Amino acid sequence: MTTAPHLFQPVDLGGLRLKNRLVLAPMTRARAGQQRIPNSLMAEYYRQRAGAGLVITEATTISPQGNGWNESPGIYTDAMVEGWKETVAAIHAEGGSVFMQLWHCGRASHPSFHGGQPHVAPSAIKLQAEYIHTPKGKEPHVAPRALETGEIADIVADYRHAAQRARDAGFDGVEVHAANGYLLDTFLQSKTNHREDRYGGSVENRYRLLDEVVTAISSVYPKERIGVRLSPNGVFNDMGSPDYREQFTYVAKQLNQHRLGYLHVMDGLAFGFHGLGEPMDLAEFRRWFDGVLMGNCGYNRETAESAIAAGLADMIAIGRPFISNPDLVERYRHDWPLNPDADVADWYSPVGAKGYTDFPTYR
């Protein structure tokens, strides 16, 4: 008998009957090749982990402008759609459900990804980090170009087109990546958004782009098949704003009015904490969002079970343990030991099956 009974209860998500409350968290794994087209190796990776109640794909760029990570996949060409169909079919064949995470890297990109042209962001503020991995190797970060107001409608349209292509590929839903210092997160946060137009200044204006993106995507998927990911505590990609609590409280309240499928909150501090006040926890978001709430970052079986049993979360996304344990759900269910942690050098490297699909299931 499992010692974590709440984790293995089914849950309804937008009409999908999910078999448990464990989620394969989106993790960039850089196996799509230089053309960014999903392939059979990726399909096998996701098939192996389809025991999760919900699979969320690695971040998938919505347009060439959104690229900023070597050999990550996209969803903006017909070939990409065809490539993703194999992954979707593999997950569905295992009785799983899958959402695509939609991504625009924004200021966390580099001109080397864009033929030497500047990458874009809400404001021309350089990401303060030592270097970025580009197609040319390690390069220093440079300041992005601030988007013109008239360009923003095109980005909203790119999100809608990406959602349509995800639907064409068979995905059950989509997650909007508005976390971790990528484009939508940098619009939300005062540290990175110094705009003086209707997309900057107040908490309401900084939220505007995310609201427009969710509204546009809801013309493709019903809102109960749309999730949004936030990282209110995060420092990844040089983030953290003094007014984070005011901003993310407002965002949660507004997203609640959209009646989304779920809100995915990186409440854990395993990626670092900006330390600008007390961390925002799931209990705080539970006050403002009454739909399915998903926790993430640093959870294990015991803490995931505890969060769900206490009513703080409805689902918990697990990342790194899923890398080296494709059968993590069954290991959690039966209290089986976990494989040794994967070699960090293989996590994000385009090295084929090694450190990707070669981990054993429990014997």
Write the pLDDT tens digit of every residue in 291-318.
Answer: 999 999 999 999 999 999 999 999 999 9
Identify which of 121, 279, 113, 109 has the alpha carbon closest to the alpha carbon of residue 188. 121
Which domains, from first to last, does the chain contain? 5-346 (3.20.20.70)
Mean pLDDT of the chain: 96
Two structure tokens written together for 239: 């983030």
pLDDT tens digit sequence for 270-293: 989 999 999 999 999 999 999 999
pLDDT tens digit sequence for 103-122: 999 999 999 999 999 999 99
Extended beta strands in 43-93, E state: 54-61
2 pLDDT band, cuts 50/70/90, is: low
The percent of residues above 70 in pLDDT, for the chain, comes to 99
Q: Which sequence positions are flagged as catalytic? A: 182
Rounded to whole angstroms, the Cα distance separating 299 from 134 reads 31
Which residues, 6 or more positions from 173, have their beta carbon under 8 angstroms from its beta carbon? 13, 14, 16, 99, 100, 221, 225, 226, 227, 261
At 212 the pLDDT is 98
Separation of first and last alpha carbons in the chain: 18
Q: How is residue 232 annotated by DSSP?
A: T
